[in-house]
A and B are shown apart, each in its own frame.
Chain A
Amino acid sequence: MVMDSYAEYALEVAIQLKEKHPGTEVTALCVGDKPADEVLRRALALTADQAVRVWDAGWADLDAPAVAHVLAAAIRKLGGADLVLVGRQGSDVERGLVGPMLAEELGAACTTLVARVEVQGDRLRLRREADGGFAVVESRLPAVLSITNDETNVPRLPKVKDLMMATRKPIQVLGPADLDLDPARLAPGVELRDLYIPTQEGACEIIEGDDGPSRAAALAQRLRELKVL
């Protein structure tokens, strides 16, 4: 199992904040079964201070509101957090809902699509993606941010030494008995009715030619015939 790519950007932001502000503790937290330990090991190798996995056998199909509820309960159990970073969305089912819902659960400030994070005392200065550019947003703490990719947060690779260390660090596992959960909040909000593979569109017409210029000429000719331009 590998870490979701947007979660990797979020972790990179967290590690950079820790390097810039000594004393900051980074916890990697996920909802997942045993194989998800691999993801948390990677987070530890990237110098997260502790790793926590929350799981129950009945949680295989939790949807976004339920995941947010479980994460919020785990964060409270761990003593709270000033800053919670999540990926802007999952790469597989792309819901983009967990961040905003987690902010609601925790009563924290919420900013989505954040590319850069600066901590200024008890406030955050954020660069957020906006239509045709960026907005600089000031946020109160505690806050939940959904992180998007940026040239400043391209995930680093773990050092060999840290990879070795990570195998020896513990992963804390929490279950429903450890958490203050509301069963109504775990009930599904929507239910998967059907899953299908969309039909592929027409085949690609490959433009042949002896060399680059002849292919370019043939392509231009086809565009003329098809009245594309």
Chain B
Amino acid sequence: MREILVYAASQGGELTKPALEALGTGRRLAGEAGVPLSAVVLGADTDGPARAAIACGAGKVYAARNPILANFQPDLYLRGLEAAAAASGADVLLFPGDGPGRELAGRLAHRLGAGAVTEVVGYRLDGGVPLWVRPVYGGKAMAVYAPARERVVVALRPKTQDPAVPDPSRQGEVVPLAFEVSEAEAVTRVVEKIQEALSGVRLEDARVVVAGGRGLGGPEPFKDLEELARILGGAVGASRAACDAGWVPPTLQVGQTGAIVAPDLYIAIGISGASQHLAGISGAKTVIAINKDPEAPIFKRANLGIVADYKTVLPALTAELKKLVGA
């Protein structure tokens, strides 16, 4: 390994959480392997993100600054990333593994003729070469990949990496990138953004998540889950089955392909615990499962469980927890 380049994605002038996680892993790996850590920042104004990336340990920051990069647009952002990859010569490119990061990682890997791994949760060093560890088959197994081409693009699964801790006293160099990019290259454009009406806490940031699944049998019981979530200052989540049934909007979906959550407390009600769902709660500290099927896989992940029809438990539990938190 020669050099690690991290895509330090930013929003509103600040590095995103997944970008801080990528920088955290990049810094650890660079330190262990004794190679330089660089970052690339993109935007209309890159000063803030560049300073932040240096504070997070990047020795060199490639800045692709252009007014047309003010908002995320993959076709245009790719041009900046290509320029940074060419300027740095890094052989390991680390990407935040959120939606935009994964798309950019795949497309950039193709343009560079590089290998690509997504959903990476860790690495092992093998004679100075990082091997990439990622869950496969819905988390039932872990696979370890070695690079087979000169360069590799790695997208890290969000919420699995310790974020970088910024230290403003760190020094670094900002390298402006000269690259051609024109608005005409953008073949898609965002015409509207719709934020889901949020009552209360954002699912991804919630310290407590109360989630319901197929076992609830319909949309109505989610009102009771909302009540419990409100009392605990948390958010409501759902399994894919509940979202597919149309009981709740898909934005509430927790799991491999929905929200990845890492709350202090996750209460799974009527959720069987498919491996894809469990993959989304791997960072949860305490998991409570309430399910009438004692064989449900959720009990393998849960710390505390109640084997019962949730209807017999939920009203009393809500009252008890209300007392407990003094609400």
A189 touches B115 (CB 8 A): yes
Chain A residues near B191 (CB, 8 Å)?
125, 136-138
A109 touches B187 (CB 8 A): yes
Of the candidate stretches A22-30, A33-41, A46-54, A93-101, the one touching chain B is A93-101
**In whole angstroms, how far apart are the Cα atoms of A184 and B114 in the complex?**
11
Interface centre among A103, A133, A213, A219 (most CB of B within 10 A): A219
Chain B residue at minimum C-beta to C-beta distance from A109 = B187
Give the total of B residues in contact with A, Cβ under 8 Å: 94
Chain A residues near B309 (CB, 8 Å)?
212
Interface flags, A79-121, vs B, CB<8A=1, else 0? 0000000001101111111011101110001111101000000
B38: Cβ under 8 A from any A Cβ: no
**In whole angstroms, how far apart are the Cα atoms of A105 and B145 in the complex?**
24
B304 touches A212 (CB 8 A): no
Q: What's the least CB distance linking B68 to chain A, in Å?
A: 17
Chain B residues near A189 (CB, 8 Å)?
109, 114-116, 147-149, 152
A201: Cβ under 8 A from any B Cβ: yes
Chain B residues near A216 (CB, 8 Å)?
306, 313-314, 316-317, 319-320
From the candidates A65, A89, A101, A228, name the one contacting B264 in the complex (CB within 8 A): A228
Chain B residue at minimum C-beta to C-beta distance from A90 = B136
Of the candidate stretches A13-21, A171-179, A191-199, the one touching chain B is A191-199
A97 touches B116 (CB 8 A): yes
Given known pairs A104-B111, A151-B250, A220-B321, the reply for A207 and B305 (CB within 8 Å) is yes
Chain B residues near A133 (CB, 8 Å)?
193-196, 251
From the candidates B118, B192, B240, B316, name the one contacting A95 in the complex (CB within 8 A): B118
Q: What's the least CB distance linking A159 to chain B, in Å?
A: 21
Interface centre among A95, A202, A224 (most CB of B within 10 A): A95
Given known pairs A109-B187, A136-B194, the reply for A202 and B106 (CB within 8 Å) is no
Chain A residues near B313 (CB, 8 Å)?
212-213, 215-216
Interface flags, B93-127, vs A, CB<8A=1, else 0? 00000110011011101110111111100000010
Given known pairs A132-B251, A205-B304, A219-B317, the reply for A151 and B246 (CB within 8 Å) is yes
Given known pairs A190-B152, A205-B304, A229-B321, the reply for A93 and B136 (CB within 8 Å) is yes
Interface residues of A in 124-166 (CB under 8 A from B): 125-126, 129-140, 143, 148-151, 154
A204: Cβ under 8 A from any B Cβ: yes
B99 touches A129 (CB 8 A): yes
From the candidates B139, B188, B246, name the one contacting A109 in the complex (CB within 8 A): B188
Give the total of A residues in contact with B, Cβ under 8 Å: 80
**In whole angstroms, how far apart are the Cα atoms of A200 and B139 in the complex?**
11
Chain A residues near B324 (CB, 8 Å)?
220, 223-224, 229
Q: What's the least CB distance linking B65 to chain A, in Å?
A: 23
B166: Cβ under 8 A from any A Cβ: no
B302: Cβ under 8 A from any A Cβ: yes
Count: A-B pairs, CB below 8 Å: 255
A1: Cβ under 8 A from any B Cβ: no
Chain A residue at minimum C-beta to C-beta distance from B323 = A220
Chain A residues near B106 (CB, 8 Å)?
64, 96-97, 99-101, 104
B87: Cβ under 8 A from any A Cβ: no
Chain B residues near A137 (CB, 8 Å)?
188-191
B223: Cβ under 8 A from any A Cβ: no
Q: What's the least CB distance linking A111 to chain B, in Å?
A: 6
Q: What's the least CB distance linking B219 to chain A, in Å?
A: 11
Chain B residue at minimum C-beta to C-beta distance from A206 = B305
A115 touches B188 (CB 8 A): no
B304 touches A207 (CB 8 A): yes
A217: Cβ under 8 A from any B Cβ: yes
From the candidates B257, B300, B301, name the one contacting A149 in the complex (CB within 8 A): B257
Q: What's the least CB distance linking B37 to chain A, in Å?
A: 21
B265 touches A94 (CB 8 A): no
Given known pairs A109-B187, A133-B251, A192-B143, the reply for A217 and B320 (CB within 8 Å) is yes
B305 touches A64 (CB 8 A): no
**In whole angstroms, how far apart are the Cα atoms of A103 and B108 in the complex?**
12
14 A–B pairs (Cβ distance < 8 Å), ordered by A: A92-B138, A100-B106, A115-B250, A132-B251, A133-B195, A140-B187, A190-B117, A195-B141, A202-B303, A204-B301, A206-B306, A215-B308, A219-B317, A229-B324
A-B pairs, top 10 by smallest CB distance, nearest first, are: A189-B115, A212-B312, A100-B106, A216-B316, A220-B320, A213-B316, A194-B144, A216-B317, A136-B192, A109-B187
Q: Which residues of A contact B (CB under 8 A)?
A: 6, 63-65, 68, 88-89, 91-97, 99-101, 103-105, 109-113, 115, 125-126, 129-140, 143, 148-151, 154, 184, 187-198, 200-202, 204-207, 211-213, 215-217, 219-220, 222-224, 226, 228-229
Besides A129-B250, A212-B316, 11 more A-B contacts (Cβ < 8 Å) are: A6-B257, A95-B116, A130-B193, A137-B188, A138-B188, A151-B243, A190-B115, A191-B146, A204-B299, A204-B300, A215-B306
